[in-house]
C-alpha cells in the first residue's frame, strides 16, 4: 500500500516535469525557427523598395517625400519611428506613421489621402505605404521606444487608447484586453504579450511592421490592428482612424524603453 | 520588371557564404482567387550563380518554393573583392540578374 502510493507520487512528479519540459522545448523550437528566418528576412526587400519610393519624385506634383516631417524635422527619418504616434502642430492631430505618411503624400505629392485610406491593403498606394513603413522603421532599429507625452492631445490619446483597449463588444464580447491583458497567454503556439505594460524588447508594439511568413506579406501596425479587430469580429474602425492611432499611443507609451526590432519576422 | 534581389556574400577563410533574397510571387497554380478562378502558376524555374563569371551553381526550381525565396550557398575559393552574380528565370520568361561583391 505504502509503496504503491509512493510510486504514484513519483509518476505524478515525473509526468509534470516532462510536460513542463515539452512546453519549454516548443517555445524554444519556435524561437529557433525565428532565428533561422531572421537571417533572410524578406522584409529587407520591402525596405529597399521603401527607400527608393521615399526618394523618387511621384504623384501629381512629381515630388519626393524627402521634405516630409515625421516629427523630428523635415526629412529626418532616423529615430522618427520610435517616437510615433505623436502630436503634429501643422495638422493639429496626433498621428501615427501611416497617417503621417498620408499627410505627406497629400501635401507634398498631391495624392488623395482619403482615397488611399479607403484602398485595400497591399493594393495601389497602400503597398507604397507598407514599403515606406518598412524602411522608416528600419532606420530606428535597435533604438528604444520613446513616445512623447508632453502635449495635452498626446495624453488625451493615451486615455482614449486605453479605453479602446478595454472596450468589450461584438458578437464574442471581446476586447483587446481579453487576449493581451495578462501575461502568459497564448493562441495555439503564439505567445500573446501583455500590452497593458511594457512587454519587453522587440515584443508587441516594438516588433511591427513585420513580415508574415505564413501569408508572405509585409504588415504595418495599421494592418496588424485591422486583423485584431477582424479576430474580435469587430468592424475595422478605418485605416489611420483616430481610434487606431490612440491604440498605437497606448501600446507605444506602455512599451517605453523597449528596443525596437522592426521590421520583424513573424511565423 | 522584377524587383531587385538582396545578395550578401561574406568570406571566411577559403569559403564564402552567399545569402540571396529574391522578390517573387511564386504562385503555385493551385490556388483560387475570391471569384473561384484558378490563379495561374508563376514561379522561378531556373537559378544560376556565377563567381567572377564562372558558373558555380545551377538549380531548377518548382512551385513548392516559398514566396520571396531565400537561398544560401557556399562558394569555395572566393575571396574578398570577387564578384558573385545570381540570375533567375521564371516560367513566364521574366528574368533578373543581380551582382554583389564579396566582403
pLDDT digits (tens, 9 = 90+) for A77-111: 999 999 999 999 999 999 999 999 999 999 999 99
CATH of region A41-266, choose from 2.20.25.90, 3.40.50.300, 3.30.420.40, 1.10.760.10:
1.10.760.10
CA atoms within 13 A on the CB side of B52: 9
Query: Mean of the pLDDT values across residues A70-74?
Result: 90
Residue A229: pLDDT over 70? yes
Residues A124-169 pLDDT 10s: 899 999 999 999 999 999 999 999 999 999 999 999 999 999 999 8
Residue B91: pLDDT over 80? yes
Query: Mean of the pLDDT values across residues A44-62?
Result: 91
What pLDDT does A23 receive? 56
**Of B3, B19, B68, Cβ closest to residue A39:** B19
Q: Where are the domains of chain A?
A: 1-39, 41-266
**Interchain contact, A44 vs B21, CB within 8 Å:** yes
What pLDDT does B59 receive? 95
What pLDDT does A69 receive? 92
Distance CA A109, CA A204 (A): 32
CA atoms within 13 A on the CB side of B95: 9
Distance CA A133, CA A45 (A): 13
Query: Is the ipTM, as predicted for this complex, more than 0.95?
Result: no
**Interchain contact, B67 vs A216, CB within 8 Å:** yes
A170 — pLDDT class (breaks 50, 70, 90): confident
Question: Of A104, A176, A179, A228, which residue is the catalytic one?
Answer: A228
Residue A20: pLDDT over 70? no
Per CB-CB distance under 8 Å, the chain B contacts of A44 are: 6, 21
Contact A94, A83 (CB under 8 A): no
Residue A2: pLDDT over 50? no
Going along chain B from its start, the domains and CATH numbers come out as 6-101 (2.60.40.10)
**Interchain contact, B70 vs A42, CB within 8 Å:** yes
CA atoms within 13 A on the CB side of A262: 31
What pLDDT does A247 receive? 94
Query: Mean of the pLDDT values across residues A11-15?
Result: 44
What pLDDT does A14 receive? 44
What pLDDT does A18 receive? 47
Query: Mean of the pLDDT values across residues A64-71?
Result: 91
**Over pLDDT 70: what percentage of chain A?**
90
**Of A44, A213, A216, Cβ closest to residue B6:** A44
Q: Looking at the complex, does the CB of residue B31 fall below 8 Å from at least one CB of chain A?
A: no
Flag the least confident range among A40-44, A63-67, A257-261: A40-44
Query: Mean of the pLDDT values across residues B53-74?
Result: 93
Q: Grid cell 485595400 — which residue?
A: A120
Residue A9: pLDDT over 60? no
**Of B4, B19, B21, Cβ closest to residue A42:** B21
pTM of the model: 0.82
What pLDDT does A176 receive? 92
**Interchain contact, B21 vs A49, CB within 8 Å:** no
A37 — pLDDT class (breaks 50, 70, 90): confident
A228 annotated active-site: yes
Amino acid at each position: 500500500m505504502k509503496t504503491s502510493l509512493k510510486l504514484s507520487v513519483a509518476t505524478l512528479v515525473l509526468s509534470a516535469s516532462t510536460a513542463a519540459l515539452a512546453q519549454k522545448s516548443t517555445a524554444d523550437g519556435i524561437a529557433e525557427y525565428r532565428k533561422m528566418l531572421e537571417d533572410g528576412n524578406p522584409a529587407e526587400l520591402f525596405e529597399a523598395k521603401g527607400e527608393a519610393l521615399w526618394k523618387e519624385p511621384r504623384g501629381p506634383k512629381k515630388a519626393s517625400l524627402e521634405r516630409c516631417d515625421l516629427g523630428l524635422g523635415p526629412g529626418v527619418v532616423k529615430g522618427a519611428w520610435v517616437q510615433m504616434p505623436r502630436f503634429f502642430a501643422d495638422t493639429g492631430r496626433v498621428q501615427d506613421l501611416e497617417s503621417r505618411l498620408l499627410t505627406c503624400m497629400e501635401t507634398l505629392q498631391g495624392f488623395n489621402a482619403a482615397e488611399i485610406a479607403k484602398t485595400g491593403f497591399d493594393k495601389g498606394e497602400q503597398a507604397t505605404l507598407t514599403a515606406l513603413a518598412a524602411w522608416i522603421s528600419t532606420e530606428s532599429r535597435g533604438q528604444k521606444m520613446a513616445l512623447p507625452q508632453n502635449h495635452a492631445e498626446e495624453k488625451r490619446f493615451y486615455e482614449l487608447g486605453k479605453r479602446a483597449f478595454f472596450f468589450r463588444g461584438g458578437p464574442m464580447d471581446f476586447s483587446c484586453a481579453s487576449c493581451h491583458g495578462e501575461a502568459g497567454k497564448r493562441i495555439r503556439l503564439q505567445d500573446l504579450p501583455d500590452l497593458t505594460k511594457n512587454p519587453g524588447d522587440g515584443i508587441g508594439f516594438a516588433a511591427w511592421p513585420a513580415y508574415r511568413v505564413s501569408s508572405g506579406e509585409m504588415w504595418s501596425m495599421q494592418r496588424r490592428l485591422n486583423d485584431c479587430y477582424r479576430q474580435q469580429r469587430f468592424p475595422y474602425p478605418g485605416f489611420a482612424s483616430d481610434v487606431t492611432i490612440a491604440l498605437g499611443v497606448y501600446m507605444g507609451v506602455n512599451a517605453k524603453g523597449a528596443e525596437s526590432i522592426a521590421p520583424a519576422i513573424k511565423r | 520588371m522584377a524587383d531587385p534581389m538582396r545578395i550578401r556574400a561574406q568570406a571566411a577563410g577559403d569559403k564564402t557564404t552567399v545569402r540571396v533574397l529574391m522578390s517573387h510571387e511564386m504562385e503555385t497554380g493551385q490556388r483560387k482567387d475570391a471569384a473561384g478562378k484558378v490563379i495561374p502558376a508563376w514561379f522561378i524555374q531556373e537559378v544560376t550563380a556565377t563567381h567572377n563569371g564562372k558558373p558555380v551553381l545551377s538549380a531548377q526550381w518548382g512551385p513548392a518554393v516559398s514566396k520571396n525565396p531565400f537561398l544560401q550557398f557556399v562558394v569555395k575559393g572566393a575571396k574578398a573583392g570577387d564578384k558573385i552574380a545570381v540570375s533567375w528565370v521564371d516560367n513566364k520568361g521574366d528574368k533578373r540578374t543581380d551582382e554583389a561583391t564579396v566582403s
